[in-house]
């Protein structure tokens, strides 16, 4: 058993949102291939969770910051 990596993982190409329980500090990141899929996921989760739009990522870097 070695030491765990300290470098953050690169994000795959796509659109990302972060889903948290209301009042929580940490959440999970969800990736969708298209912006339409991301918007439908936001509508699905916003009723019961806290949703943060991270934007589009390509080659591990943010392309379009959230509006």
13-25 residue pLDDT tens: 999 999 999 999 9
**Is there a domain that residue 55 lies in?**
yes
**Is there a domain that residue 2 lies in?**
no
List the strands of the sheet with 61-64, edge to edge: 28-32, 14-20, 50-58, 61-64
For the chain, give the secondary structure using H, E and C.
Answer: CCCCCCCCCCCCCEEEEEEECCCCCCCEEEEECCHHHHHHHHHHHCCCCEEEEEEEEECCEEEECCC
| Predicted TM-score (pTM) of this structure | 0.80
Q: How many domains does the chain have?
A: 1
Residue 65, pLDDT above cutoff 70: no
Which residues span the domain enclosing 47?
14-59
pLDDT digits (tens, 9 = 90+) for 29-56: 999 999 999 999 999 999 999 999 999 9
Q: Which pLDDT band holds residue 4 (cuts at 50, 70, 90)?
A: confident
Residue 64, pLDDT above cutoff 80: no
């Amino acid at each position: 058993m070695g030491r765990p990596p300290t470098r953050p993982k690169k994000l795959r190409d796509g659109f990302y949102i972060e889903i948290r329980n209301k009042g929580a500090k940490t959440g999970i990141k969800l990736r969708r291939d298209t912006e339409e899929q991301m918007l439908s996921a936001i509508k699905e989760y916003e009723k019961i969770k806290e949703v943060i739009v991270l934007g589009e990522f390509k080659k591990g870097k943010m392309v379009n910051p959230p509006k």
